Structure 1
Amino acid sequence: MKKALVPSLFMVGTFMAISQNKYQKDFDYFWELMEDQYAYFDQKQTQWNKVKELYNSRLQTIKKDWEFTFTIELMKHELYDPHLSLNRNLDFSFRLIPNDSDAYIKVDNEKYYISDIRDSYRITEYNLQIGDQLVKVNGKNIQEIIHSNLPTSIENPDEEVREYFANLIFAGRHNEPRKFDILRNKQSIEVQVPRATPIKESSLLLESDIVLGDVGYIKINNSLGNNELINMFPKVVDDLKNTRALIIDLRETHGGGNTDVAKAIMGQFITQEIPYQIHERVGVERALGIKRKYIEILSPLKNPYSKPVYVLVSRWTGSVGEAIAQGFSNMDKATVIGTSMARLLGAIKCVTLPDSGLNVCFPFEKLYNIDGTPREDFQPDIQTRNYKQTFQKTLELIREKK
């Protein structure tokens, strides 16, 4: 009997070793990928070496693929970067921000307030207002929830870290309701809202209209990654060529996009080449000591629009949407109006971990405006208090210029 057990024990031991090696290989691959190529360590409180030490110990207890996914997800949150994402989520994962958020939470003196509401979402149908203090989520104190989710590698998390987790918590987990206790004018109010849902679902890449009788309006419906927009957008602009001004609404472009679409939009409003943005490959300098930094050029397209252009942005203008707004700010005819944007860091690349197939997208390039301002620090030419006010303010400005 003892002899018969030997092969079985050997097979079990071999299986466990293979399983652990599988996770260890991808764990090391992910950690080294970030170590070598993640572009924004200099802006983070994260101690990346400590992250490796802390989470490597978890691998010894991992038996299932979802546990490994959860480990990588926790490591991702150590960087508190909404532009770092995975192609898989678990039932209890936080929803993506800004994609799946319908309000923006800010920290003020250790308290958490709703500073903006996504006016095109159903959250407007519920009793929540800008200025409300967030006290509890699903019956638990917001301070306690944030504390339990803070990165383990950071000793004294600053407001940026806390704000990131406050917005994750407000967006909610996939398998949990969203019940909030808020404080308004010293009165406690309980509000339950569904997951972030648009008031109007649209399959259109963009929508256009005439407002104020002679002003063109184009709304981009989170389609900056769809190459069909490259041919569609110039045609719509041409249809509006006789208007006295044009509004381009980028307030719902949370999903980012690609540079070709961005250039097809901006190229419709210039008559000669202009600098667009500055790229910096941080990983190259980290590995070789050679700075890789270059200026990207924007080229004109046929039949450019010659009248004033107003570009609307919001907390839900993300990534390529932010780059487009920044690009328009360098044109004399354009005015960017709105709040701070999503402040998504840099340009991303996506890499698949070899064994698990988990796909990781992360910022590998820093991006700057042509004046050297980091894209995430860009502010609109005319700043508004919130999403809703941006459109109203734009109409006021156009009326004044008539």
Structure 2
Amino acid sequence: MRKIALGCLLLASLSASMPVAAQDAASESAPDAAAFDAAAAWEEFEHLLRDKYAYIERDDIDVEAQLDRSRALAAKAPDKAALRRIMHRTALTFMDPHLIVGPFEDDDYAIVMTAADLDARFKEGRALIVDVRRGSPAFDAGLRPGDEVLSIGGTPAKDAAQAPFGEVLPDPTAAQLDYGLTLAVNGRRKGDRSLKVRTATGQTRTFELASMRDWANSLRERKLVDLSFVGTGGDVAVLTPLNSLGDNGTIPAFDAAMKEAIGAGARAIILDMRETPSGGNTEVGRSIIGHFTDRVSPYQMHRIPALEREFTVPRQFVEYVFPREPRFDGPVVVLHGRWTGSMGEGIVIGMDAATNATTIGSNMGDLLGGLWNEQLELSGARVDLGGEALFHVDGTPREDYVAAIPIEPASTGADGSDPAIARALKLLEKR
């Protein structure tokens, strides 16, 4: 097993942040089936999980039962491709978009939340859309929170939600079924989606939606940071990093947007982190937070379980942010939601810890941990996994953070409006 990169808080080594090219299956010569030892290749993968994955200890799923089941299936895999599929599906059972096994195939499900525009969940047996990514194919088609998904590609919603796990998970928990449903409604890496939906108004419609991979790739040409002004007086600046937290060019771009906002007389700033699903790096994250603090402050805590497992000596450390010009002293509101991922999540908890900002939003992307990238020699698989557990400086796991003002949905209201911006403006009016 060869470690190929350490990408703390960088989603899937940009396989998700630049969503779909990095782990595409490479052309290989036909494997020698007689020489392939599937059991040994699985053991290499399982050893990696037990040794390096910071989130292997779980109380929401039976990890040992899952690994036992997958191990038995893996031993029968006839070749590397079949084994990779078992490992990939096993990774999905952990419900962690940061745990990825490639190289990808076209019929793998699209990466959530980068190549996703729908968040879905079962409620009282009904497969409901919970939130819709603004400006996406699903948004433009008219899908809205509260719509019920009846079938996906002609398959009933519950069956479609089980399909991503295949034979490795015949009886998913409720949470795993919700995760599978979100994967299913966002479709495969290649090909369009067909959703039969009962809308909140009672109409039954079939929505034909474009490939999420193609749409997500089309976003690469956007500018790094968007600046707009809202409010009755047009004096509230909205700064929105556009899935650019892994690009160091975002540092000067955000600096320039801050200067423009302050120069235009902004009385308040809304930092909109709802379009950052693909991770990033701490240089960009710390540079953004630094504009809103007047002192050196802790913003995020890291723990590396692998070192404690190997040496019985825990390692834990805190990252700090430093004040950065131009600094803004007025009211600040931070928005977040399901398309706030990895470094975006780090900025949200950092703004909460190191500044006087108020957070508004729903559950975030839950991309677990700071990312490590590994290459497995026996199977040829590429594995991305959270090697560092991450926490708010108060000790709260990052994935458990709850906004000061929780709302759901956070991206799109049932009427197509923007609920988070509306709530932020209401808060700022009182100030």
**1:159 lines up with 2:182 in the alignment:** no
Q: Distance in 2 between matches of 1:24 and 1:110?
A: 39
**1:300 lines up with 2:323 in the alignment:** yes
User: TM-score, normalized by length of structure 2?
Assistant: 0.82
- 1:207-246 equivalence runs, <5 A: 207-212=226-231, 213-241=234-262, 242-246=265-269
Q: Distance in 1 between matches of 2:132 and 2:217?
A: 13
Q: How big is the shift at 1:326?
A: 0.7
**1:138 lines up with 2:153 in the alignment:** yes
Q: Distance in 2 between matches of 1:167 and 1:86?
A: 18
Q: Which runs of structure 1 show a deviation greater than 4 angstroms over 4 or more consecutive aligned residues?
A: 23-26, 151-156, 198-202
Q: 1:253 aligns with which of 276, 296, 311?
A: 276
- Note closer, same or farther for the CA distance 1:226–1:199 as it changes in structure 2 (3 Å cut): closer
Higher RCO (CA < 8 A, seq sep 6+): 2
Q: Distance in 2 between matches of 1:182 and 1:155?
A: 26
Q: Distance in 2 between matches of 1:296 and 1:143?
A: 42
- Specify the code of the residue in structure 1 equivalent to 2:381: L
Q: How big is the shift at 1:325?
A: 0.6
- Note closer, same or farther for the CA distance 1:357–1:264 as it changes in structure 2 (3 Å cut): farther
- Note closer, same or farther for the CA distance 1:29–1:366 as it changes in structure 2 (3 Å cut): same
- 1:105-184 equivalence runs, <5 A: 105-150=120-165, 156-184=171-199
Gaps of 5+ in 1: 1-13
Partner of 1:206: 225
SS of residue matched to 1:344: coil
Q: Distance in 1 between matches of 2:295 and 2:277?
A: 29
Q: How big is the shift at 1:101?
A: 1.1
Q: Which moves more between the two structures, 146-155 or 223-232? A: 146-155
SS of residue matched to 2:239: strand
SS of residue matched to 1:58: coil
**Identity of paired residues, percent?**
26
Q: How big is the shift at 1:99?
A: 0.9
Partner of 2:423: 393
Q: How big is the shift at 1:226?
A: 0.5
- 1:332-371 equivalence runs, <5 A: 332-354=355-377, 357-371=380-394
- Note closer, same or farther for the CA distance 1:284–1:199 as it changes in structure 2 (3 Å cut): closer
Q: How big is the shift at 1:349?
A: 0.7
Q: Distance in 1 between matches of 2:50 and 2:69?
A: 11
Q: Distance in 2 between matches of 1:285 and 1:198?
A: 38
Q: How big is the shift at 1:156?
A: 5.0
CA-to-aligned-CA distance 1:65-124 (integer Å, 9 cap, x gap) = 543432332232232321112452112111111111111101213321001111221312
SS of residue matched to 1:72: helix
Partner of 1:274: 297
Q: Distance in 2 between matches of 1:125 and 1:289?
A: 53
- Specify the code of the residue in structure 1 equivalent to 2:247: N
Is the CA contact (8 Å cut-off) linking 2:407 and 2:420 kept in structure 1?
A: yes
Partner of 2:71: 53
Gaps of 5+ in 2: 1-30, 412-417
What is the root-mean-square deviation of aligned Cα atoms in Å?
2.5
Q: Which moves more between the two structures, 257-266 or 206-215? A: 206-215
Q: 2:399 aligns with which of 370, 373, 376?
A: 376
User: TM-score, normalized by length of structure 1?
Assistant: 0.87
Is the CA contact (8 Å cut-off) linking 1:276 and 1:297 kept in structure 2?
A: yes
Q: How big is the shift at 1:52?
A: 5.0
CA-to-aligned-CA distance 1:151-179 (integer Å, 9 cap, x gap) = 65657532211111111101111344311
Q: How big is the shift at 1:200?
A: 8.8
Larger Rg: 1
Q: How big is the shift at 1:40?
A: 1.3
Q: Distance in 1 between matches of 2:166 and 2:323?
A: 46
**1:98 lines up with 2:116 in the alignment:** no
- Specify the code of the residue in structure 1 equivalent to 2:296: E
Q: How many residues align?
A: 383
CA-to-aligned-CA distance 1:207-249 (integer Å, 9 cap, x gap) = 2233333222211010000111223322321232242111211
SS of residue matched to 1:285: helix
